[in-house]
């Protein structure tokens, strides 16, 4: 199935929700460790409960998969740090080695690698993402009752 067909409902749904502005991190200014090193990633993951390594930035993703992850996290009202892997090849290759996962985007929750777009989409659809966020102390806004529905 075409990814745009699967993701289209996500985009429509997210347009009705409040827009959160995630932190797009400038990696050069945030780490005392060599960019792309394990210590760099450990430090990056310690700064926020949710961290996304993606192509582009949340306001301007540069691939459909990164955009889908942004839309899903936005629907859940998650505040997260993001790192643009296109800005530095050391981050792009380093995160793949750090997580032992070959593709971008990559989502970390509570310092642990959770998955890429397909896994996050599946977790969103089956409710596991809400549970994973809960483990990190984050309550999904999808659990809030809509006063208009009564």
Q: What is the pLDDT of residues 62-100, one digit of tens each?
A: 999 999 999 999 999 999 999 999 999 999 999 999 999
Domain regions of the chain by residue span: 3-136
Task: Tell me the pLDDT tens digit for each residue of 1-11.
Answer: 444 444 444 44
Q: What is the pTM of this model?
A: 0.79
Read off the pLDDT of residues 11-55 as tens digits, 9 standing for 90 and up: 433 333 333 445 555 444 455 668 888 999 999 999 999 999 999
Give which of 84, 73, 77 is closest to 30, Cα–Cα: 84
Element (H, E) at 12: helix 3-14
Distance, CA of 4 to CA of 23 (rounded, Å)? 26
Is the CATH number 3.40.50.1110 carried by domain 3-136?
no
pLDDT, position 149: 52
């Amino acid at each position: 199935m075409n990814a745009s067909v699967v993701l289209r409902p996500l985009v429509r749904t997210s347009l009705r929700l409040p827009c959160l502005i995630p932190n797009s991190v400038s990696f050069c200014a945030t780490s005392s460790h060599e960019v792309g090193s394990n210590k760099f990633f450990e430090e990056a993951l310690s700064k926020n409960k949710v961290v996304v390594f993606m192509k582009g930035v949340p306001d301007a993703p540069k691939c459909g998969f990164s955009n889908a992850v942004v839309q899903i996290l936005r629907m859940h009202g998650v505040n997260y740090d993001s790192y643009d892997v296109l800005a530095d090849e050391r981050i792009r290759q380093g995160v793949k080695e750090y997580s032992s996962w070959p593709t971008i985007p990559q989502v970390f929750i509570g310092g642990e690698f959770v998955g890429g777009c397909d896994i996050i989409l599946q977790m969103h659809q089956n409710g596991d993402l809400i549970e994973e966020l809960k483990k990190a102390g984050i309550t999904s806004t999808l659990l809030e009752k809509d006063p208009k529905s009564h």
